[in-house]
Amino acid sequence: MMAPPSPSPADLVCAALRQPQHLSALTPAGWDALVRQARCASLLARIGCTLDAQGSLDRVPDAPQAHLHAAMTLAEFHRVQAMRELALVHEALASVEVEPVLLGSAAYAAAGLLPGMGHVFTDLDIMVPDGRLAKVEAALLARGWIKGRAPFNGGRLDQREPDSCPTLEQAQRQCVVVVHRAVLPEALHEGSATPGPLGRTRAVEGDTRFAILDPADMALHVMLHLFHRADLGHALRDLSDLDLLLRHCGRAPDFWARLEQHVRDPVLARPLHQGLRFTNVLLGTPVPPAILKVAAATGGPLLSMLSDGIWARALRPRHATVSDGWTPLALFALRIRARRRRVPPALVLHRRPIAVA
Amino acid sequence: LIVAELAPADLESCLRHAGLRLRTGPVVTEVRSPLAALRQDLALHYAQHTVEPDSGFADFHVSVRSTGSLPSWSGGRVMFDCDGARPFAPRRADHGFELLEGGLDWCLTNHCHQYLIVHAAVLARGDRALLLPAPTGAGKSTLCAGLVYGGGWRLLSDNLALVAPASGQVLPLARPIRLKGHSIDVIRGFAPSTAFGVETRHTTSGGRVVFASPPAQSVLDSQSSARPTWLVVPRYDPGVGTRLDPHSRARAFMSLVDNAFNYDVHDRAGFATLAKVVDQCRCHDLTYNSLPEAIDALDCLAASDA
């Protein structure tokens, strides 16, 4: 019924990210399909940046090359906007003496990390100490932000966040700041064996204004959010972020040892296992076989097969050419699972499954 | 191969199944739709446009089809889709062609950041372009239609100027001109031999809308870009006479910025591109209450630079 986790031959985006050197052999019809899929997965700019880094962008045929350039121009605009917005957030939070920890794309942009490469984003995720949340909110409100999408907005769930974090919107600049209190969603934290809050932090190199997570915790954070979220519209992009992060940080001597500390944690083990395996299989991320083996020793075979089949579909570009009859069901199952912990089933069912044309 | 050379049955089959790959200037769009009304309008307005082979690269893949939410006897609702993106609310089935035109604009303004895109009508004499940047309601399309059908100007676009950042050249689209409200009657009276599509009523804008076909010659020339030469900010004002006054370059520059869709996306390159455009142009303000007078004034402007 369900396929084992192997790259789908129709998924040109994964193939392009895994082996960009093979793109020189792509036919015009192949480019046609790749640009469509990559646009749906928000990975067009990243493919452009990857080819640019290899020095082969100018060998792409003119028409698809124009789209890669267009996406890269837009991604660079988003990055510059995010940096401007971060400067303003810093100013606001400095007034209440809070130093935020940047999460996700904000961290990549500020620290100049590889996942920032061709990243298209509008939301900035920051983490502040639990007790300072009210002050942080007040400081942002005083500087022109307004209270954003509430978790239960008009009976409809804010489906971006597994834990209900306050969001603040800048109406003129259309930028959303999501304020987190912890790396681990509250609902998950109870079951975790990890003592104390997850999230060793360090300062951004050359920029004392911000802190970011330690590389191993940053990777764990990406995995947790990817494999526990209800909105999987950008699942492949998040996986690609993780791939770049693992490639970038994996060279540090203690990185894998730090990740390995969590492989037996009841809450972290599964996302860690899935994150490592899917990046390895779909995007060719180099992962030490030892940690892959330890991580694999969790969960039964039947459950693993089912979950693999489901995730293999969720992690494809959201495009008709790479969807099959199981895709809507797989996405629906994952959405139910992500919300089951804290939301009544009636509300989960409130939203219709994501339509696949 | 052009659309007019396709047999009606082939056109229908193309639109229903494989998709019709339509070239408009630099852009190839694969269009699918089972709607008969849309097919008729498309056959009329895109008759001279090139059909590209299925085996090549298409910039966008779009469809206009029924939402399936209402029974067909009620007329139904139709929606525009571009690879899963549905930027517009569903519309009445007879508005399919208008939805397609809006969708093609959406594809360009949302994805084609290889160009700096300005909300402007663009016309040309040879390879010299006249840019008419203005917000909706300033009489831009009326003036554009008047210049095309009555003044013999070449049509590049009635609402989107695609400026190539490196060269500062404007690229043609040669798509149908969208006319609405009173300006429909003005153009029908002014150029009665123009090919108009079916008029639709009660659209989102609240009034009547009709499309006028681009002249065959403009479509034939749609692979040749043009150099911005005249920049005229138009304004229809029934209360005053027709006047063409010189305009400072600084103000002309700002009129481009105000009407640009993606000036901010291009950052410094956007400034450099628009500066290049303004530097090449003679800049004017045009206030008009009579279409023939406005056309005369712009013809004189072009002739004085001959």
pLDDT digits 0-9 by tens, A276-324 = 988 998 899 999 988 887 766 655 666 677 777 777 887 888 877 777 7
Q: What is the CA radius of gyration of chain A?
A: 20
Is B77:B66 a contact under the CB 8 Å cutoff? Answer: yes
Q: What is the pLDDT of residue A271?
A: 83
A254 pLDDT exceeds 80?
Answer: yes
**Does residue A133 have a pLDDT over 70?**
yes
Question: In this complex, do A32 and B56 lie within 8 Å of one another by their Cβ atoms?
Answer: yes
Give A31 to chain B, closest Cα distance, Å. Answer: 7
Measured distance CA(A266)–CA(B250) in Å, rounded: 65
Specify burial of residue A113 (Cβ count, 10 A radius: 0-12, 13-18, 19+). Answer: buried
Residue with the larger pLDDT of the pair B131 and A249: B131
Mean pLDDT computed over every residue of chain B: 92
Residue B104, token pair as written in the block? 């093609």
> Considering only residues 66 to 105 of chain A, which have any Cβ-Cβ distance to chain B shorter than 8 Å?
66-67, 69-71, 73-74, 76-77, 80
Residues β-bridged to residue A176: A123, A169
Which residues from A are below 8 Å from B61, CB to CB?
A: 36
Q: Which of B57, B83, B113 sits opposite A31 (nearest CB)?
A: B57
Kindly report the pTM of this predicted structure.
0.88
Contact across the interface for B114 and A36, Cβ inside 8 Å: no
Q: By the 8 A CB rule, do B294 and B183 touch?
A: no
Tens digit of each residue's pLDDT (9 = 90 or more) over B89-101 = 998 888 999 999 9
pLDDT band at A189 (very low <50, low <70, confident <90, very high): low
Best CA proximity match to A179, nearest among A159, A165, A198: A165
Strand A101-103 and strand A123-127: pairing?
Answer: antiparallel
Q: Give the pLDDT band (50/70/90) at residue A1.
A: very low
Which of A73, A80, A357 minimises the CB distance to B84? A357
Shortest distance between the Cα of A310 and any Cα of chain B, in A, equals 21
Q: Does A40 touch chain B (CB under 8 A)?
A: yes
Angle at A21 (CA atoms; ends B28, A286), nearest 5 degrees: 125
Nearest by CB to B81, from A63, A67, A357: name it: A357
ipTM of the complex, rounded to two decimals: 0.93
CB A191 within 8 A of CB A267: yes
What would the pLDDT profile of A203-215 be if each residue is shown by its tens digit? 887 777 888 888 8
Bridge partners, residue B128, by sequence: B125, B227
Residue A50 burial (CB count, 10 A): 21
> In B, which residues are within 8 Å of A61 by CB distance?
57
Rounded to whole angstroms, the Cα distance separating A223 from A294 reads 17
